[in-house]
Structures are given as structure tokens and as C-alpha cells.
Amino acid sequence: MADGAPKRKSTLYLQVLVAIAVGVVVGALKPAWGVALKPLGDGFVQLIKMLISPIVFCTVVMGIAGMGDLKKVGRVGGIAVLYFEVMTTVALALGLAVVTLVAPGDGLHVRVESLDTSELQKTLDKPHPQGVVGHLLAAVPKSFVGAFTEESVLPVLVLAVIAGLALATLGNRKEPLLKGLDLVGQGLFAMVAVVMRLAPLGAFGAMASTIGKYGLSALSNLALLMASFYVTSLLFVCVVLGLVLRLVGLNIFKLLRHMREELLIVLGTSSSESALPLLMDKLEGLGCKGSVVRLVVPTGYSFNLDGTCIYLTMAAVFVAQALDVPLSLGETLSLLGVLLLTSKGAAGVTGSGFVTLSATLSSVGTVPVAGVSLLVGIDRFMSEARALTNLVGNAVATIVVSKWDGALDLERARAVLDRRALPAQTAAAEQSAQ
């Protein structure tokens, strides 16, 4: 069974790659067909989202309770949160620096009253938390079952942390419960494996509908913002995350090659959640301890959204530039402070950054929210770079936290990334475990 796994992954990689290319062609040549194919992409993302909440619950509870020592849980959690805050701040600052330097919105001189806000209104009509207290309360589940029906994964995360801490205090009595959760988790991952067979179909539908609806020529007026955002995301991954990973002793480009299947799935669906189960499995195979992976990865999907942070800063300042709204240093720092809060818990699905940006500008009040309608046409294209950056950021975060906690088999990681045989000691340990 293990021998067939690489072939299946390679096949999926090629299928998704071909599906994305075909989707672009269909959307460009037959726009109406492309738009009609949108349910394929939406349906695939919905299937993945259906499984994410229970997977996050099981993995976080297992990660916390499985450690046994609450001091270790606190240490790993503290390291992770510290890393998340540092990297998201760096992402926000980098986005601010680039958008200020390039100034893609200067010269547009858009008048608020001339904007078509019909699409934006659909977003703003949906309820969303207001202010600091509102965002904090939104993380608290309204009921045990209700936590699993929320759009955000934060309520599930809060519930899982409480459950994990509670089980950790039960001593040996927790073992039957953990075994049950482990079986449930295995069942959920088996379901993910079934759903992932539809990944090429989902990627095809999502890409065809995007190109069919917006086209490539319609993006010319906002091309500078898109190019700036993609370049900034690339710089963050290759330079910032590359330097961080180099300090661990690994190479970012080899990691990207190792994650190519997950990256392509995210590229096709614009959803980092679609690759969450695969990412966790791959990080454990890389040599990260399972308990750390189960705690850091799901938490990172709410608190370590580097790509979303870059987008939020650049988009907010772009809107201000386009509407000729000057921002003082104090107003800019205030905006960054609010973004540090609102970026937490932004779901890793298509459109989440757009919703969060609208909520942020509503909270700050400095920049007219109506200006967000300028981004409606390109948000779908930018969501792909957001999701890709978020995925890589969480992979690097898990490796770094594992290294700091002494839960990373560095020799195994190097062997896997270099595509060479595992160290004899590691291979022997795996065989004995089987």
C-alpha cells in the first residue's frame, strides 16, 4: 500500500495541473461555459469545508491531550503564538512598505459616489463582528454543536482547546476517549482521501469560472496592484520564510517542491483549507512530531495567515490612494493595529480576505468602505496568492515550532527534501513501529 502512495500523489499532481490549464482555456474561449462551471469549484470547496471543522477538533484535542504534560502544551502553544504574531506583523509591514513605495492607487482619483457597490453590498449585508469585543466574542461558540456550523474555524479551535485541556487532566482515564478520537480522525482522513479524487474537477470548474467571469483584459486597470501583491507574496515566501527555514537548516525551494501537490490544489481552488489534511500528513512524514503538527497547523489556519495580512494592508492602502484619502502615520498605525486583530480567524476559503477587509474598514472608519468595490473584479485572482502564501507560511511555522521544541527529526527532513534514502536509524525505527 505504501508503494502505491507516491504514484497516486504524482497522478493527482498531474491531473490538477492539467485541469487548471484546461480551465483557463475554457474560460478564455467560452466565457459563458466557464461561468456555468462555477458549481464544480464551489462544490469541491464545500465538501472540504464540511470535513475541516471535525478534523480540526480531533487533531487539536489529540495534540493537546496526547502531550500529557500541560506545561509542554503551554510551551508549544506559547512558541507558536509568538511566532505567529512576529510573522504576521512582518507580513503586514512588508505589504505596507511595498504598497506605499509602488503606490498603485495614485492617480485614479475615484469618487465614492461613482462606484458600483452592488456586489460589495452583498458582502456587507452578511453579519460580521464589529470592534475588538465583537471579534473576541465571535470566537466563543454559541453551543457545542453550533461551533461546527460557523463559517470561521475559531469557535471550533476554542472548543478543541478546552476539550484537550480537560482530557489532559483525566490521567489514564483519557485513553479510551483518545483512542475513539483517533479512530474518528482516521475515518475523517479516509473521507478526505475520497473527496480529493474530485480535486481536478474542482480545480477545473473554479479556474474556468474565474477566467470566464472576469476575463484577462478586464484586469488591466488594476494590474499594477495585482503584480505588486504577487511580487510581495513571492518575496515573503522566498526571502522572509526562506531565511527563517535556513536558520532551521532546510531549504525553502526544496520544501516548495515537496509540497507541489498541495500548492496546485490550493492554486486551483483558491482555498488553503482544501490542502489542510494533506499538509498535516506531509509534515508528519517530513519528521515533525504528530502532537506538534496537530496543535500548530490548525491553530495557524486561524492565527498565521501571512498572505491574508499582506493582502489586507495593500488593499486597504490602495483603496485610500484611489479615493485620494491621505493617511497620517497615526492613522496608518491604527489601521495596522486593527488588521492584526481582524486578520485572525479569517477563513482560508475564497473571498475571506474581501470580507475581512470590508469589516476592517468599517471598524476603522478612516477609509470609505465603498472603495472596496474597486477590488471586486480582481479579488478572486488575488485570493489564490493569499491561499498559497498562507499554506507555505503554516508549513514553515510548524517546522520552526517543531525545531524549537525538539520535536523535529532534522536528518529525516533533509533526506526527504533531498529525495534520498532515509537515515538507517530512522528507517529501522519506522519498520519496528510497523
Measured in degrees and rounded to the nearest 5, phi and psi for residue 142 equal: -75, -25
Q: Are 309 and 343 within 8 A, CB to CB?
A: yes
Rounded Cα–Cα distance for residues 295 and 12 (Å): 27
Q: Hey, CA dihedral for 210, 273, 352, 223, is it positive or negative?
A: negative
Measured in degrees and rounded to the nearest 5, phi and psi for residue 88 equal: -70, -35
Please give the tally of structural domains in the chain: 1
Q: Which domain holds residue 211?
A: 5-420
Task: Check: pTM over 0.75? Answer yes or no.
Answer: no
397 has a pLDDT exceeding 80: yes
Q: Are 198 and 40 within 8 A, CB to CB?
A: no
pLDDT at position 122: 56
Question: Is there a domain that residue 428 lies in?
Answer: no
> What confidence tens digit (pLDDT) does each residue in 145-187 have?
877 777 666 787 788 888 888 887 887 787 888 888 888 888 8
pLDDT at position 349: 44
Question: Is there a domain that residue 379 lies in?
Answer: yes
Question: Is there a domain that residue 427 lies in?
Answer: no
Rounded Cα–Cα distance for residues 368 and 189 (Å): 44
> What confidence tens digit (pLDDT) does each residue in 13-26 have?
678 778 888 888 88
414 has a pLDDT exceeding 50: yes
More confident of the two residues 123 and 278: 278
Confidence of residue 423 (pLDDT cuts 50, 70, 90): low
Rounded Cα–Cα distance for residues 253 and 268 (Å): 21
Where residue 266 sits, what CATH number does that domain have?
1.10.3860.10
For residues 101-111, give the mean pLDDT. 79
Rounded Cα–Cα distance for residues 79 and 94 (Å): 22
Question: Is there a domain that residue 425 lies in?
Answer: no
Question: Is there a domain that residue 72 lies in?
Answer: yes
Question: Is there a domain that residue 426 lies in?
Answer: no
Which range of 85-94, 99-108, 314-323 scores highest in mean pLDDT? It is 85-94
Question: Is there a domain that residue 391 lies in?
Answer: yes
State the CB neighbour count (10 A cutoff) for residue 224.
15
pLDDT at position 270: 72
Show Cβ contacts of residue 333 under 8 Å, excluding neighbours closer than 6 positions: none
Q: ∠ CA 188-261-196 to the nearest 5 degrees?
A: 35
Q: 27-36, 134-143, 258-267 — which is least confidently predicted?
A: 134-143
Show Cβ contacts of residue 109 under 8 Å, excluding neighbours closer than 6 positions: 322, 324
